[in-house]
Amino acid sequence: MLRLNHGNDILASIGAITTAADARALLEGLTDEDNLRKLDTITTAEALIKIANAAVLFQPRDIWINDSSAEAMAFARKRAVEEGEEFTMKNPGHTCHFDLPEDQGRMVNQTFYIVNDDEETSVLAKKMHRDEAHAYVREVMSGLMKGRTMTVSFWNRGPTGAAAAVPAIMITDSFYVVHSGNILYPTVFAAFDAEVQRAGTFFTNCHSMGELSSENIPKARIFMDRSWFTTFSCYCTYAGNPLLLKKGNHRFAVDLCTYFRKEDQLSEHMFITGLTGPGGRKTFFAGAAPSGCGKTTTAMVGTDFIGDDLAQMWIDGQGTIRAVNPEIGIFGIIEDVNWEGDPYLMECIEGKKPAEIIFSNILVDDEGLPHWTGDRQPDPAHGRNYLGEWTPDLGRHRSHPNSRFTLPCTSIDNFNADRARSAEGIPVSVITYSGRDADTMVPVWVARTPDEGVAIGASIVSKATATEVGATGVNRQPWANAPFIPGPLTDYMQAQFLFFNSSKIAQKPVMAGLNYFLTHEARGGSGKGLLGEKKDVKAWLGWLELYAHGDVKGYDTPIGVIPRHEELVPLFAAIGKEYPRELYEMQFALYVDNILRRIDLQMAAYGKEANLPPQLFAVYERQKADLNALKAAHGSVVPVSDLA
Ligand code: SAT
Ligand code: MN
C-alpha cells in the first residue's frame, strides 16, 4: 500500500523552507520585478515552498516564470535557440534538438522509484531507498544551476476542470524542456490554485541538465518520489527523461488511480481517437500499445483525433466511461512516417502547413530540411544528426530509431479540438490493447466479458523498441503500461477488474486485442514481410466500430469474437483494397499451439506474483480448456472455416 506524504520529503529537507513567507522572501531575491509580479498569481503555499526549496537545491542565478502568455512561449523558444539547445530550420516554426548519443530514450537503468522501508514496488522497476536517493540529490544535484536561469512552468495534465486532470509544476534549466512542454501541455497558470483545490493535489518536477556530456551520462538519474509526488532528474535531455509531466507524472497518476481512486478512474498508456461510422455517428476508442508499436498511427486513422499517448479515464454520473488526454501535443516517433501512412503528420513535418515543430535526433541537411529513416526520400548529399556530420558514404543511419517530432495537436487536420479541450471528456466505447506479435494472435479479437478484456490487457506481449535504452527481446508488456506501474502489478490488475466490472458503468465498453505485426513467415507464407500494411488499421478499427453498435457479429472462438470474412470485405473496399479469403485465413486461423504456449508463459509469469486476482487465472483456464478441445477436434492450426 502506498502512503502519501510519508517519509522524509527530500526537497523540503534540503531546502529547509517551510512557510510561504520564507518561500516568497527567498524567491524575491532571485526574481526580477516582472517575474515576481507573475508569481503573485500563485498563492498555493505548498507550491511556493516547493519552488523555493528547488531554488535552494539548484542555486540558480535567477528565476523565470513561464505564465504561458504568447510572449513567454516565444521567449522560451528563442532562449532554447540562443542557448544552443535547438537550432532553427528552413521552414518557419521548425527547430531541431539533439540529445547525446547515450540519451536517446528513456534511461530505464538510471530510473528509480524512491521508496520507504515498508514499500513494495513493481518487480519490473528499479527502486532506491529514500535515504540513498536523498544523499544523491543533495550531493549530485546541489548547485547544478549555478550561473543559469531556473524556469518554472505551470501546466495541467488534462483540460482545466476535467475530473481526472491534475496540475503540475515543471522546474528546469532547459529551455528545450520548457519549449516542449509549452507544445505538449495546456497551461494552468491562471487557474493553478483552483485546480489544486479541485484535484486535491499537484505534481512537482525538478530537472537540471548539469554540464551535459557523454562523460557525465553515468551521473544521470531519474527519480520518482511516489510519496511526495515529486520527480528529480539530472544530466539528461531526451524529453522522456526530464519532461516528467509525461511519464513521470503518468506514474503518479497510475498510483492515484490504483490506490486512491479505485473503481472510479484509470490512468492508461493509451491513444484516444474517434471514428465516424454509418449515418455520421461518432465512436470513440482508447487504445494501449507499447512505445513504438503503432499507437500514433492508430490514433491518426481516426476521423476525430484526440491524443496519441496517454488517457485519464473515469466513469461519469450517467455511467459513461469518459477520457481526457492529459496532453495537447504529440511527441511522435518519426521513423517510417511517410505520405502513404501518415498524410496529416507529413503536411506539418514537410512544412506544407504552418506548424511549430521541434524535431529531435533527425538528420538536417545543409538547407535546413528534415530527413529520417523510412521517409522514402533520397539521401541528401550532406547534413548533420545527433552523431555529428552526416554523408551517405559514412554508412550511419540518418536518424535514431527513437528520434521524434514534437507538434501541437491543433496543427493536425483530423484533431477535434473542441472535444479534446472539453472538461467533460470523451465518451469511450471501445478499448484496444496491442503489441508487436509476429506469430500468435490474430489482427483483431473481442473479449466477451470485462474479465476477458482485462486479461487481454494483462497478456500484451511485444518485441522491444528503441524508446527504452538497452531493451531487447520479446517481452511481456501488461497493458503496455508496465513501465509506468509503480506498485505491484497485482494492485494495478485489481484496479482494472474493479473498474471494468463496476456496476456504475451503464454500458460495458468493447474490449479488444489488436495485432498489426503478423508475418508471412509465421502464418504459412514465405518471406519475413508483414501480413498487411499500415492502412489496414482502418479496417480493423472500422470493424470494431460496427461491432460496438451490433452491426456485425463475428465468430465466437476460445479467445473471443473474431470478424467474419464477409464483414471485412467492404471495410477493405473502403480503403481501396481487395481482401481475399486466402489472406483472411492466414490472418485469422487460430494457431492453437502458439496461443497455448502464450497462455502458459503468462500463467508461469503471473504465478510468481502474490495476491493475484483469481479472475485472471479463471479466464486463462477456460481459454486453455476450450483451445484444447478445439485442437482435439481440428488440429493445431484451425482454419476459420472450421470455426464457423
Ligand atoms: O519516452 S517517452 O515515454 O516520453 C515517449 C513515449 O514513448 O511516449
Ligand atoms: Mn508512450
Mean pLDDT of 132-141: 98
Ligand 1 atom 2: the closest Cα is on which residue? 240
Ligand 1 atom 6: the closest Cα is on which residue? 291
Rounded to the nearest 5 percent, the helix, strand and coil shares of the chain are 35, 25, 40
Q: Pick from 331, 407, 436, 465 the residue to mutate for probing ligand 1's pocket: most ligand atoms within 8 Å of its CB.
A: 331
Give the per-residue pLDDT at 118.
84
**DSSP H helices in 105-166:** 130-136
pLDDT per residue over 442-451, tens digit each?
A: 999 999 999 9
Nearest to 88 by CA among 97, 75, 101, 99: 97
For residues 215 and 209, what is the distance between their CA atoms, to the nearest angstrom?
A: 13
Mean pLDDT of 4-16: 97
Kindly tell me if the per-residue pLDDT of 502 is higher than 90: yes
Mean pLDDT of 216-222: 98
Give the per-residue pLDDT at 361.
98
Mean pLDDT of 49-78: 98
Q: Identify the active-site residue in 257, 293, 348, 409.
A: 293
Residue position matching grid coordinates 490474430: 442
Give the per-residue pLDDT at 632.
98
The reply to whether 10-81+106-260 and 265-328+420-642 are identical in fold is no
The angle at the Cα of 340, spanning 334 to 346, to the nearest 5 degrees, equals: 45
The domain limits of the chain are 10-81+106-260, 265-328+420-642, 330-408
Give the per-residue pLDDT at 466.
79
Residue 503 burial (10 A CB sphere; 0-12, 13-18, 19+)? exposed
**DSSP H helices in 117-269:** 130-136, 175-184, 192-199, 247-255
Nearest to 182 by CA among 358, 351, 12: 358
Is there a catalytic annotation at residue 293? yes
Ligand 1 contacts CB of residue 225 (under 6 A): no
Kindly tell me if the per-residue pLDDT of 197 is higher than 80: yes
Residue 77, amino acid? R
Ligand 1 contacts CB of residue 487 (under 6 A): no
Cβ-contact 271, 332 below 8 angstroms: no
Q: Which residues contact 577 (CB under 8 A, 6 or more apart)?
A: 535, 536, 539
Ligand 1 atom 7: the closest Cα is on which residue? 291
Give the per-residue pLDDT at 90.
98
Mean pLDDT of 184-197: 98
Mean pLDDT check: name the lowest of 255-259, 279-283, 523-527.
523-527
Residue 392, amino acid? P
Residue 393 C-alpha from the chain's centroid: 36
Kindly tell me if the per-residue pLDDT of 471 is higher than 80: no
Ligand 1 contacts CB of residue 7 (under 6 A): no
Give the per-residue pLDDT at 475.
85
Domain covering 330-408 in this structure, CATH number:
2.170.8.10
Kindly tell me if the per-residue pLDDT of 142 is higher than 90: yes
Nearest to 542 by CA among 270, 273, 269: 273
pLDDT-derived band of residue 628, with 50, 70 and 90 as boundaries? Answer: very high
Ligand 1 contacts CB of residue 538 (under 6 A): no
pLDDT per residue over 327-386, tens digit each?
A: 999 999 999 999 988 999 999 999 999 999 999 999 999 999 999 999 999 999 999 999
8-state DSSP, 534 = G
For residues 516 and 529, what is the distance between their CA atoms, to the nearest angstrom?
A: 12
Mean pLDDT of 454-480: 87
The angle at the Cα of 610, spanning 607 to 611, to the nearest 5 degrees, equals: 105
Q: Which fold has domain 10-81+106-260?
A: Phosphoenolpyruvate Carboxykinase; domain 1 (3.40.449)
pLDDT-derived band of residue 264, with 50, 70 and 90 as boundaries? Answer: very high
8-state DSSP, 113 = E
Mean pLDDT of 38-55: 98
Q: Which fold has domain 265-328+420-642?
A: Phosphoenolpyruvate Carboxykinase; domain 3 (3.90.228)
> How close is the Cα of 271 to the center of ligand 1, in Å?
13
Judged by DSSP in three states, 214 sits in helix
In this structure, what C-alpha cell is assigned to residue 419?
Answer: 472535444
pLDDT per residue over 95-108, tens digit each?
A: 999 999 999 999 99
Nearest to 481 by CA among 328, 258, 184, 241: 258
pLDDT-derived band of residue 124, with 50, 70 and 90 as boundaries? Answer: confident
Give the per-residue pLDDT at 433.
98
Residue 59, amino acid? Q
Give the per-residue pLDDT at 383.
98
pLDDT-derived band of residue 294, with 50, 70 and 90 as boundaries? Answer: confident
Mean pLDDT of 503-517: 97
Q: Pick from 309, 403, 468 the residue to mutate for probing ligand 1's pocket: most ligand atoms within 8 Å of its CB.
A: 309
For residues 439 and 523, what is the distance between their CA atoms, to the nearest angstrom?
A: 7
Give the per-residue pLDDT at 527.
86
Percent of the chain surpassing pLDDT 70:
100
Give φ, ψ of 142 to 5 degrees: -60, 135
Judged by DSSP in three states, 459 sits in coil
Cβ-contact 473, 485 below 8 angstroms: no
Residue position matching grid coordinates 524512491: 114
Residue 587 burial (10 A CB sphere; 0-12, 13-18, 19+)? buried
Mean pLDDT of 295-315: 95
Strands 329-333 and 87-88: unpaired
Kindly tell me if the per-residue pLDDT of 225 is higher than 90: yes
Kindly tell me if the per-residue pLDDT of 292 is higher than 80: no
Give the per-residue pLDDT at 1.
78
* Total residue length of the chain: 644
pLDDT-derived band of residue 644, with 50, 70 and 90 as boundaries? Answer: confident
In this structure, what C-alpha cell is assigned to residue 616?
Answer: 485472471
Cβ-contact 244, 233 below 8 angstroms: yes
Ligand 1 contacts CB of residue 309 (under 6 A): yes
pLDDT per residue over 376-426, tens digit each?
A: 999 999 999 999 999 999 999 999 999 999 999 999 999 999 999 999 999
| Residue ranges with strand state E in 372-478 | 383-385, 388-390, 404-408, 426-435, 444-446, 461-463, 474-476
Cβ-contact 228, 201 below 8 angstroms: no
Q: Which atom of ligand 1 is nearest to the CA of 106?
A: 1
The angle at the Cα of 373, spanning 368 to 378, to the nearest 5 degrees, equals: 65
Ligand 1 contacts CB of residue 291 (under 6 A): yes
Cα–Cα separations (whole angstroms), residue 504 to 131, 265, 496: 42, 12, 14
For residues 148 and 61, what is the distance between their CA atoms, to the nearest angstrom?
A: 5
